[in-house]
Chain A
Amino acid sequence: MSDRDLSLLSDRELARLERDIARRHIGKFPWFIVICAIVNFAIWISLWPLVFTGIIPVWLGLIIASINAAVGYLPSHEAQHDIIARPGSKLRWLNELIGHLSTIPLALPYKLAKVTHQEHHKHTNHPELDPDVSSHARGPWHAVWRSIVNRQPRAKGAFNAYGRTLVRLKRFDVLREAAVCRLAWFMSLFALAWCGHAIEAAALWWLPHHIGYTYIQFYLSWAPHHPAEETHPHRATRSFRSVVGNLGSMGMQYHVVHHLHPRIPLYRTPQAYWEMKPVLEARGANVDGL
């Protein structure tokens, strides 16, 4: 269909076209992301004996673990949107297992991530209701700085913003579980450190948590929503061209499609974007970046 034809359609007809395209990409079992989750977690686990026994140096362990931490968020993100298996389905356990396991290298409790991420979708760029709004920044370096600042103990963003969101939603169960998970992470680090493995613990878990979290905040929170001034679903997220490509940006160049149709698996968002782009343009979406 040409752009000219689309201009003749009403918004309702355009919305139907958009939904029809989205539907073609929803419901496919995301084998790739499931395998990615298992392999990524297995690599991270194997780093511990490899580094402890000196088979690979600590610095190499740090680099690989940081990649594991960032990459691990992606399968969990799919699980947060029930893309691997819907509630009540036969493979639901796999969805939840992947969700929980994948974010262990990142030390991010799955349920906390799920509930706050759903709020981010509902209220994208809203100054008070979007839990990720504090990641907004003037430019790329400012975004990195903001991500670090937001993680300070009494900062307003990141985990403290997630805590406030859970209190607002009265999800004290999730808040308690997240607090226990965070505490367990700290206790693991302390135990490793006082047993003489502080450097290894820092390289394989503590620093990867911070590096991975900064990377994720940059490509999932800042870049696709910059300048984060609009809240309309078609304007709150944009397509963008990353200097590290779609793979390096963890597939987020096409994040606009994910925000409009969150049940499309990550690996299908590029294809869905190109099919949907004329319709998105006709509906005023922020798709100038690609």
Chain B
Amino acid sequence: MGRGLKSVFYFGPLIFAAGFIAPLAAQLIGRTGWAPPFGLSPLATGLLIAAALGIPAQIRGRWI
């Protein structure tokens, strides 16, 4: 269990990006009524934003 938890926390930034930032960004886009470019859906845009934030955070070990 300990090792499993450790792995989950090690990949925390990626998991948090996919699990929370992506739907949060998608719902903020929906709430503001902003139309994403290239015909992307709010969720696809949310996933792109999450990847743009989560991958560097995973590599650097910090969000800011």
> Could you tell me which residues of chain B, from 1 to 59, have a CB within 8 Å of some CB in chain A?
1-2, 5, 8-9, 12-13, 15-16, 19-20, 23-24, 26-28, 31, 57
Q: By the criterion CB–CB under 8 Å, are B12 and A153 in contact?
A: yes
State A262–B30 Cα separation when bound (angstroms): 50
B residues in contact with A154, CB < 8 Å: 61-62
Instruction: Evaluate whether A193 and B2 lie within 8 angstroms (CB atoms) in the complex, with A148-B64, A153-B61, A186-B16 already known.
Output: no
State A189–B9 Cα separation when bound (angstroms): 15
Question: Shortest distance in angstroms between A185's beta carbon and chain B's nearest beta carbon?
Answer: 11
Q: By the criterion CB–CB under 8 Å, are B63 and A152 in contact?
A: yes
State A148–B63 Cα separation when bound (angstroms): 10
Question: Shortest distance in angstroms between B22's beta carbon and chain A's nearest beta carbon?
Answer: 8
The tally of residues in A whose CB lies under 8 Å from a CB in B reads 23
Q: By the criterion CB–CB under 8 Å, are A179 and B19 in contact?
A: no
Q: By the criterion CB–CB under 8 Å, are B5 and A183 in contact?
A: yes
Question: Shortest distance in angstroms between A40's beta carbon and chain B's nearest beta carbon?
Answer: 25
Q: By the criterion CB–CB under 8 Å, are A179 and B9 in contact?
A: yes
Which single member of A176, A180, A193, A199 contacts B31 (CB below 8 Å)?
A199
Question: Shortest distance in angstroms between B56's beta carbon and chain A's nearest beta carbon?
Answer: 11
CB closest chain-A residue, reference B6: A179
CB closest chain-A residue, reference B2: A176
Instruction: Evaluate whether A180 and B5 lie within 8 angstroms (CB atoms) in the complex, with A149-B62, A152-B64 already known.
Output: yes
Is A36 at the interface (CB under 8 A from chain B)?
A: no
Scoring B1, B15, B23, B28 by chain A CB atoms within 10 A of each residue's CB, the highest score goes to: B23
A residues in contact with B61, CB < 8 Å: 152-155
State A206–B12 Cα separation when bound (angstroms): 15
State A177–B20 Cα separation when bound (angstroms): 23
Instruction: Evaluate whether A199 and B62 lie within 8 angstroms (CB atoms) in the complex, with A186-B16, A189-B20, A206-B20 already known.
Output: no
Given contacts A179-B5, A190-B19, A194-B19, 7 further A-B contacts (CB under 8 A): A153-B57, A182-B9, A189-B19, A193-B19, A198-B24, A199-B24, A202-B24
Q: Please name 17 pairs of A and B residues whose Cβ atoms are closer than 8 Å in the assembled complex, sorted by A.
A: A149-B64, A153-B57, A153-B61, A155-B61, A155-B62, A172-B2, A176-B1, A179-B5, A186-B15, A186-B20, A189-B19, A193-B20, A193-B23, A193-B24, A193-B27, A199-B28, A201-B20
